[in-house]
Amino acid sequence: MLADTVLCRGLTEGDRPLKVFGYLPQASVKSDPGVKPFAPPTIRRGDRNIYVGKWQALRGLKVDNIFGPNTEQVTKEWQNDNRLEPDGIVGPATWKLALDSDDGPAPAPIPTPVSKPELARMPTIKVVKAKYYQPGPRKYPVTNIVCHTMEAAEKPTTAEGVAHYFYLGCPDINGKERKASCNVCIDADSIVQCVLESDIAYHAAGINHCSIGIEHAGYANQGAAGWADAYSVSMLKLSAFYAAMMVKQFNIPVVWVEAEGLLNGEPGFTSHAEVSKACVLATQRKLTTSSYFNKENPSKPRSNHYDPGKDFPIDTYLELVRAEVNK
């Protein structure tokens, strides 16, 4: 489903190389109408994400994924030298010239040598852009990570398939679309980004504005044994890798938050099921100012989902995330 990919040189997460893949120019993907070329988002001072890291690598700077005053100054100088407006903002024109240039500085070196087997173990992040999402910048800080299940069978291409479904607009059998998306889809061997973290995905009504949504392959009713099989174990490790990046980027505590906590604005990890419970409580208590309250239909909760199911291994998953954060 995905086109050929190119490695973003020099990009690292912490002291480990991170393989982030984007699309080649349109000419190379014409055979798949479901794929569009992906352009890096506009970044500026104050941003903290992997695209800042890529820009820092291109400019020969230390890669810390933080767009601070030094990165801004170097950006302005490079823009001025290349006859671009020296505003310090890395937008489409700046990205294009930088990525097309052959005479830029060498990418920042990887701080710690990594063996080929270790490099091969690192997860890749592919991109299939969802049709529906709210473009950034966000008005509210990201405080929560919401875990979902795709309600799709555990297969090698499940993440790519569900991401493609989001790309198409989630049509039903009659072709009617609905506004739904997530930030990433993850299966046993793939992380596919559908919505950038700087944009808002439509994944859990009531908390979209301040959260990141992670879709996992499998079903909410697959039971404890289903979450313990080799496929799910591998998937949860990949999910923990991505979640740890979000924890470090947005300073999210690695704790589980239930419905009451969500209503109180507590940060941390949660599930679509807990978000739905918060919506029910907001309806019952008539919390009209809460984001979980359905203002259009006050008697109907905004959400009724129960994924990723009662047997989702919360404690195991959070331990995996903590281990990644500490690497």
Q: What is the pLDDT of residue 279?
A: 97
CATH classification (class only), 126-325: alpha beta
Residues 298, 306: Cα–Cα separation, whole Å: 21
Residues 44, 67: Cα–Cα separation, whole Å: 6
Intervals of CATH 1.10.101.10 along the chain: 5-100
Name residue 149's beta-bridge partners: 216
Contact 59, 114 (CB under 8 A): no
Identify the burial level of 165 via C-beta atoms within 10 angstroms of its C-beta, where 0-12 means exposed, 13-18 middle and 19 or more buried: buried
Residues 20, 11: Cα–Cα separation, whole Å: 8
Tokens found for residue 173: 């059998």
Intervals of CATH 3.40.80.10 along the chain: 126-325
The residue type of 290 is S
| 271, containing H or E segment | strand 268-271
> Residue-wise pLDDT tens for the chain (327 aa)?
222 222 332 233 333 333 333 322 222 223 333 434 445 788 999 887 777 877 887 888 887 778 999 999 999 999 998 889 999 999 988 988 887 763 444 333 333 333 444 444 456 688 899 999 999 889 999 999 999 999 999 999 999 999 999 999 998 888 899 999 999 999 999 999 999 999 999 999 999 999 999 999 999 999 999 999 999 999 999 999 999 999 998 999 999 999 999 999 999 999 999 999 999 999 999 999 999 999 999 999 999 999 999 999 999 999 999 999 998
Task: Pick 5-100's CATH classification: 1.10.630.10, 3.40.50.880, 3.60.20.10, 1.10.101.10.
Answer: 1.10.101.10
User: Residue 135: how many CB atoms within 10 A of its CB?
Assistant: 11
Q: What is the pLDDT of residue 29?
A: 27
Give Cβ neighbours of residue 120 (< 8 Å, ≥ 6 apart): none
Report helix, strand or coil for 134: strand
